[in-house]
A and B are shown apart, each in its own frame.
Chain A
């Protein structure tokens, strides 16, 4: 009975690690494709459906998949938080110059670069913000 039961538990742990490895390998394979998809959605946000928020959410899901698969807790929350504050400052300054100060009337050829840049700013901000939120709630609360 004893040897039998130890074998069964060994089998159970083996199955658990095997399924975890399956998930991590598959996530690793899908990783670049999801990254390209998110960047595509941000980059083409001004022409096709999508935009900063949607692409940013996809990038956040990507970053969080890394934490789940690799079991790493190495997110520098404060660095990310300061980066997000900086991005918000940019988000105030750039439209302030371009739209509210009326620069778009003088340089109409800058309109599309402005849209792409703003989508990238919003996308990065949303990605970092959602990553912090879910990382904090899911991986740290309850300690």
Chain B
């Protein structure tokens, strides 16, 4: 009975680790999977293998994946504004409150050892999304600012928290697309 329960939970955890979007959570699912696997080895009276599986599977492999996830270095940010055909750097970088937002994102990236790469483009969002080259897209129409990021990228959660803390007066909206490969890149925000 215990055996089938453990085997079933292993199956569930393996599927969860495969189909979970945010990668850090998937790594934790995988770690729990190998913990249960090690318990199952113990149940089958192979304590040697159980110790090895517990140390490797839920210790070292989790450590390796988590540090590797932290090491995504280049973080490319794309700023689109469909109101104006050309965007001048000065308008964004100097003075205004919206420029402050861009600088804030840059500081945020530096604090996490990411290298922010800013790109300004007048293209509509759907084209930028389809090119799939950018980790984060800041889209502005008039006063409304939309920040679009991939659901699998863990940085966007922290960024959303920062924006909620500091920029309540701006109309900033955080949207996510993608997730697991099932959904694909079919998310398009409505243009208004």
Contacts and interface: CB of A to CB of B under 8 A. Distances in A.
Direct A–B contact in the complex, CB atoms closer than 8 angstroms = yes
Contact of B169 (A1, A49, A139): A1
Given A9-B166, A57-B60, A58-B55, 6 more contacts: A1-B169, A9-B162, A41-B51, A54-B55, A137-B64, A138-B68
A51 B55 CA distance: 13
B67 interface: yes
B17 to A, nearest CB: 19
A141 B68 contact: yes
Given A8-B165, A49-B51, A57-B52, A143 B73 contact: yes
A138 B71 CA distance: 8
19 contacts: A12-B162, A12-B165, A41-B51, A49-B48, A49-B51, A54-B51, A54-B52, A57-B52, A61-B60, A64-B60, A68-B67, A130-B60, A134-B63, A138-B64, A138-B67, A138-B68, A139-B67, A142-B68, A142-B73
Interface string B41-85: 000000110111001100110011001100111000000000000
Contacts of A9: 162, 165-166
Interface string A44-60: 00000111011001101
Interface in A1-38: 1, 5, 8-9, 12
Contact residue range for chain B? 20 to 34
Interface of B: 47-48, 50-52, 55-56, 59-60, 63-64, 67-68, 71-73, 162, 165-166, 169
A71 to B, nearest CB: 11
B166 A134 contact: no
Contacts of B48: 49-51, 54
A5 B166 contact: yes
A130 B59 CA distance: 12
Which of B59, B60, B72 has its CB near the most chain A CB atoms (within 10 A)?
A: B60
A129 to B, nearest CB: 11
Interface string A102-143: 000000000000000000000000000010001001110111
A8 B168 CA distance: 13
Nearest to B69: A138
Contacts of B50: 49
A130 B68 CA distance: 15
A57 B72 CA distance: 26
Given A49-B51, A142-B72, A57 B59 contact: yes
A4 to B, nearest CB: 9
Contacts of A12: 162, 165
Contacts of A130: 60
Contacts of B59: 57, 61
A53 B52 contact: yes
Nearest to A53: B52
A54 to B, nearest CB: 4
